[in-house]
Amino acid sequence: MANVAAHPLDPVDWPVETERLLLRPATEDDFPAVWAYRRLPEVSRWLGAQPPDFETYADRYRAPERLATQVLVLHSGTIVGDLMVRFEDPWAQAESSEQVRGTLIELGWSFDPAWHGRGLATEAVRAAIGLAFGPLGVRRVVANCFAENEPSWRLMERLGMRREAHNVRDSYHSELGWLDNLTYALLVEEWPTASGRAAT
């Protein structure tokens, strides 16, 4: 009998409910609803790729390794955004690489502009951090964005994430050219304090 690879997000008891949201892994059936807002210029301009059409988008995101990182955010049954929850391996000396494998998660997100201004993105990313430090068991969470994407880094700061890097003109944007990039992070031992501070 062939071994079936475990889904990286299996340790989570899905779906996850917050005060106003429901989070669950994405499926291919969700692609049209996600594409409806990801294709909007105000959303797509800050994403890592801007597929020209639905078919290109669907081909990219149905790849098992990509689909396994996508978590949907629903409010009152409507998809309002999506999260990337991706395990990474931190840098380590070769002899220590196995013991640190999968101890870091990179987060990313996109949200439907029609739902902006209600705190839903903050609530969803807060839940994702809680999953990373809870059932997924990592020690560090990171997130990156273009410095010009102020709503994104403001969200990270509201959640108590620390700005660890401001890289000058190191990231190329297809419309805007060379841009600064920001990296934010949080350690598991900082999360209860950071979460409490962000909520006040």
Domain boundaries, the chain: 16-199
Give the pTM.
0.90
Mean pLDDT score of the chain, rounded to an integer? 91
| pLDDT tens digits along 153-192 | 999 999 999 999 999 999 999 999 999 999 999 999 999 7
The answer to whether the CB of 46 falls within 8 A of the CB of 146 is yes
pLDDT given at position 135? 95
d(CA 105, CA 87): 4
- Max CA distance (Å), the chain: 53
Class of the CATH-defined domain 16-199: alpha beta
pLDDT given at position 193? 60
Torsion angle of alpha carbons 137, 124, 181, 65, nearest 10°?
60
| pLDDT tens digits along 124-160 | 999 999 999 999 999 999 999 999 999 999 999 999 9
Reported confidence tier of residue 195, pLDDT bands at 50, 70, 90:
low
Report CA-CA distances (Å) from 59 to 28, 67, 73, 112, 174: 10, 10, 21, 21, 21
pLDDT given at position 144? 97
Q: What is the mean pLDDT of residues 14-21?
A: 97
Question: Percent of the chain having pLDDT more than 90?
Answer: 81
Q: What is the mean pLDDT of residues 96-106?
A: 88
Question: Which candidate, 61, 79, 63, 186, places its Cα nearest to that of 132?
Answer: 186
